[in-house]
Amino acid sequence: MSGLIIQKYGGTSVSNINRIKKVAERIVRTRKTGVDVVVVVSAMAGETDKLLDMVRQISPSPKRREVDLLLSSGERISSALLSIALDNIGCPSISMTGRQIGLLTDGAHTRARIKQIDTERAKQVLKNKHVIVVAGFQGINERGDVTTLGRGGSDTSAVALAVALGAEKCEIYTDVDGVFTADPNIVPDARKLDRVSYDEMLEMASLGAQVLQIRCVEFCKKNNLPLIVKSSLADDSTGTLICEEDPNMEQPVVSGIMSDKNQAKITIKGVPDQPGIASSIFTALADESLSVDMIIQNISAEGQTDISFTLAQADMGEAMTIVKRVATEIKAKKVDSDSTICKVSIVGAGMRSHPGVASKMFEALSRENINIMMISTSEIRVSCVIDEKYAELAVRVLHDAFHLESESAESGISDGAQSA
């Protein structure tokens, strides 16, 4: 069997007839290199939002089973259109829905998880040298009802199929050139990264990089599947390779700078400093499936303390209701909230072996008089919560401080003056 490549095309790549034709041409070019191709498509850009908007006009709490049937139609439409476009330029192809590609999920409508992929029919079709165009984002549960995998789920469809079919790699086509050192809209000299490790990409995705769903990256890491993110709009896009760290290569200390304004902070003041108090707050939040990000507790004074934590801005209203209730129960003095904050983060696999990265970050921010409210770190990440108004400035300052505009400067940490 010749090599197999999975190509996934996002909504902007198939947003109109001309782009669908371009995608068909790209697939034909890929096949000419002697490989088999399985394509996974998203709905045409805007379609899913249009359908969701109709649902909102009908019901505030639609049944998830019906929402899944509704939303799955967008990917079916684009897969049929792309298959027709392929046939039209002489490339034999067949569309396949989630059911036809054998993608079985659990029963959690609108956020189903893949349980199994039955590849029998797909393998038969590949043997006949047809390109398979799979409707992404969808599967079926054991009852035969349509399920969907959550926003960005087509990426997950693509990597799961790549593993199930033993593909050599998975290419994710989108409207950007790859993964950048920072958002080019904020940092004009942001640089496209040729290579990012799975762990770095996981951190970036969880910090709000829209380019890939976290589940998709986790899946690739677990199965050591090389993932390439590139643009379908430019023919010369080389993209970013997401793969295992190469133990023989020095890792960049800082690969990218991320900022996330969709954060909010809640502070509970005058909390009695007794065992079990913090737990009562965070258990109440967890019971409602609200994810808390960073937590700090001030040093106790006069038997009282202040507790602050951050969470997604979208969850703030619900969280405030809960926290106010608990605050009354535990006899805390006051609850404040602040949604004008921002989390700015640096990510880099090389941090593991380079101490001093965090302090360099703090220094750079303080030089611009940007106050750091909260800090959290992982092995390969440092995040600071700052005032939202400094978000763009902070990203630019850090991009400069770590010389990310220049490829060879990435590992320079002790010597801030190093340059290409």
Instruction: Tell me which residues touch a second copy (CB under 8 A).
Output: 17, 20-21, 51, 54-55, 57-59, 62-63, 65-67, 69-70, 72-73, 76-77, 79-81, 83-85, 87-88, 94-95, 97, 99-100, 144-146
C-alpha 277/C-alpha 283 separation (Å) is 10
CB of 26 to a second copy, least distance (A): 15
Is residue 159 within 8 A of residue 170, CB to CB? The reply is yes
Is residue 349 within 8 A of residue 245, CB to CB? The reply is yes
59 versus 279: smaller Cβ distance to a second copy: 59
- Phi and psi dihedrals of 160, rounded to 5? -65, -40
Is residue 287 within 8 A of residue 280, CB to CB? The reply is no
21 versus 352: smaller Cβ distance to a second copy: 21
Contacts of 57 (CB under 8 A, 6+ apart): none
Give me the amino acid identity at 266. Answer: I
64 versus 191: smaller Cβ distance to a second copy: 64
Helix (H, G, I), strand (E, B) or coil at 333: coil
C-alpha 170/C-alpha 150 separation (Å) is 20
153 versus 239: smaller Cβ distance to a second copy: 153
As a whole number of Å, the CA-based R_g of the chain is 24
Q: Scanning the structure block, which residue is given the tokens 């039955």? A: 118
C-alpha 261/C-alpha 254 separation (Å) is 21
The torsion region of residue 46 among left (phi > 0), alpha (psi -120 to 50) and beta comes to: left
CB of 205 to a second copy, least distance (A): 30
31 versus 65: smaller Cβ distance to a second copy: 65
Q: Scanning the structure block, which residue is given the tokens 């809209």? A: 185
C-alpha 137/C-alpha 103 separation (Å) is 10
C-alpha 168/C-alpha 243 separation (Å) is 12
- For the record, the structure tokens of 362 come out as 């703090």
CB of 40 to a second copy, least distance (A): 15
124 versus 238: smaller Cβ distance to a second copy: 124
97 versus 237: smaller Cβ distance to a second copy: 97
CB of 207 to a second copy, least distance (A): 35
84 versus 108: smaller Cβ distance to a second copy: 84
DSSP 44-75: PTTHHHHHHHHHHHH-SS--HHHHHHHHHHHH
CB of 85 to a second copy, least distance (A): 5
- Identify the DSSP state of 180: B
